């Protein structure tokens, strides 16, 4: 079981759904993954699988909705010091979307955009380290950056988080895997697929034991499949959209412990 009580700094540690309608969001993912929900903490609701936190849902900020930003998944990277990491990100060409702020006793967070515009968040753990269960069906297993300039993005994230990267064995540069300081995979970087004109963004992938079942479930629940089921070296995946427009992925194959 992929149970977690702590994360190495520089590792994706949590994901939250910024939803236009929290109740609809809860219903969609409960139907897709069987998530339960804890009582809300302020504006945030924990999503549970086997009694352990796997994600969160909160109301999308009004300014985002007014600007036409669709509901979206927020991807958090664990850091030792959020303020220091924000300052370093700015030095490297990133932008601050939300300055660091304490979230009760849970931790401290800030929201950034990388130099190409992809948004991500930092999490300095306090009483809450992040997701308590990963790499099992229905839980987070991967975070993928699709960007207009993979080489520049890799330079930014390796400097900010100390990641090492590796291109495929074929060396075609289409995809780079990213590892934290302990050598564990934490994410991937790729250029935009041919014909796809979407802004740079991070996408969370959730583990699946049956992609065809989940593909059908997405559609039955009012979402949409944005790609066919595609083979990758470690298994298969597809990209989907929930019934409010938030984009996420599903992966079936070899999971880390």
Task: Summarize pLDDT for 104-131 with one digit per residue, the tens.
Answer: 999 999 999 999 999 999 999 999 999 9
Q: Does 210 fall in a domain?
A: yes
Q: Does 163 fall in a domain?
A: yes
Distance CA 72, CA 58 (A): 11
% of the chain beyond a pLDDT of 90: 84
- Number of H helices and E strands in the chain, helices first, is 5, 17
pTM of the model as a whole:
0.95
115 and 183 within one domain: no
User: What does the pLDDT read at residue 168?
Assistant: 62
pLDDT greater than 80 at residue 47:
yes
184 and 112 within one domain: no
Residue among 119, 104, 120 at smallest CA distance from 46? 104
Which of 125, 151, 184 is where one domain is finished?
125
Most confident range, picked from 173-177, 223-227, 252-256: 223-227
pLDDT greater than 90 at residue 167:
no
152 and 73 within one domain: no
Mean pLDDT of the chain: 94
Mean pLDDT of 157-186: 83
Q: What is the CATH number of the domain that holds 63?
A: 3.10.180.10
Residue among 59, 66, 25 at smallest CA distance from 44? 59
Which of 65, 94, 125 is where one domain is finished?
125
pLDDT band with cut points at 50, 70 and 90 for residue 213: very high
The alpha-carbon radius of gyration of the chain (Å, integer) is: 17
152 and 196 within one domain: yes
DSSP single-letter state for residue 60: P
What range does the domain containing 201 cover?
A: 140-253
Mean pLDDT of 177-185: 89
72 and 145 within one domain: no
165 and 249 within one domain: yes
Q: Does 190 fall in a domain?
A: yes
Instruction: Give the number of domains in the chain.
Output: 2
User: What does the pLDDT read at residue 210?
Assistant: 97
Residue 191 CA to its chain's centroid (Å) = 17
34 and 107 within one domain: yes
Which of 96, 125, 154 is where one domain is finished?
125
Q: Does 133 fall in a domain?
A: no
Q: Does 53 fall in a domain?
A: yes
Query: Per residue in 233-253, is it b (16+ CB within 10 Å) or e — as a string?
Result: eebbbbbbbbbbebbbbbbbe
147 and 120 within one domain: no
Residue among 74, 34, 73 at smallest CA distance from 51? 34
């Amino acid at each position: 079981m992929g149970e977690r009580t702590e994360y190495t700094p520089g590792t994706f540690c949590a994901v939250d759904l910024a939803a236009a309608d929290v109740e609809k969001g809860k219903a969609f993912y409960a139907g897709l993954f069987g998530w339960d929900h804890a009582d809300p903490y302020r504006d945030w609701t924990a999503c549970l699988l086997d009694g352990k936190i796997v994600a969160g849902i909160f109301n999308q900020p009004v300014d985002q909705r007014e600007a036409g930003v669709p509901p979206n998944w927020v991807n958090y990277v664990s850091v030792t010091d959020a303020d220091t990491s924000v300052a370093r990100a700015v030095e490297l060409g990133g932008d601050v979307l939300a300055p660091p702020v304490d979230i009760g006793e849970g931790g401290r967070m800030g929201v950034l955009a990388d130099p190409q515009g992809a948004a991500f968040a930092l999490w300095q753990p306090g009483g809450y380290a992040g997701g308590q269960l990963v790499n099992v069906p229905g839980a987070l297993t991967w975070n993928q950056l699709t960007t207009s300039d993979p080489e520049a993005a890799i330079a930014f994230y390796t400097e900010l988080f100390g990641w090492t990267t590796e291109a495929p064995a074929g060396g075609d540069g289409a995809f780079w895997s990213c590892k934290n300081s302990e050598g564990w995979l934490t994410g991937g970087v790729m250029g935009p697929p041919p014909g796809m004109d979407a802004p740079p963004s991070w996408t969370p992938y959730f583990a699946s034991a049956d992609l065809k079942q989940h593909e059908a479930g997405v559609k039955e629940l009012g979402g949409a499949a944005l790609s066919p089921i595609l083979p990758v070296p470690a298994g298969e995946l597809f990209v989907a959209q929930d019934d409010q427009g938030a984009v996420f992925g599903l992966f079936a194959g070899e999971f880390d412990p």
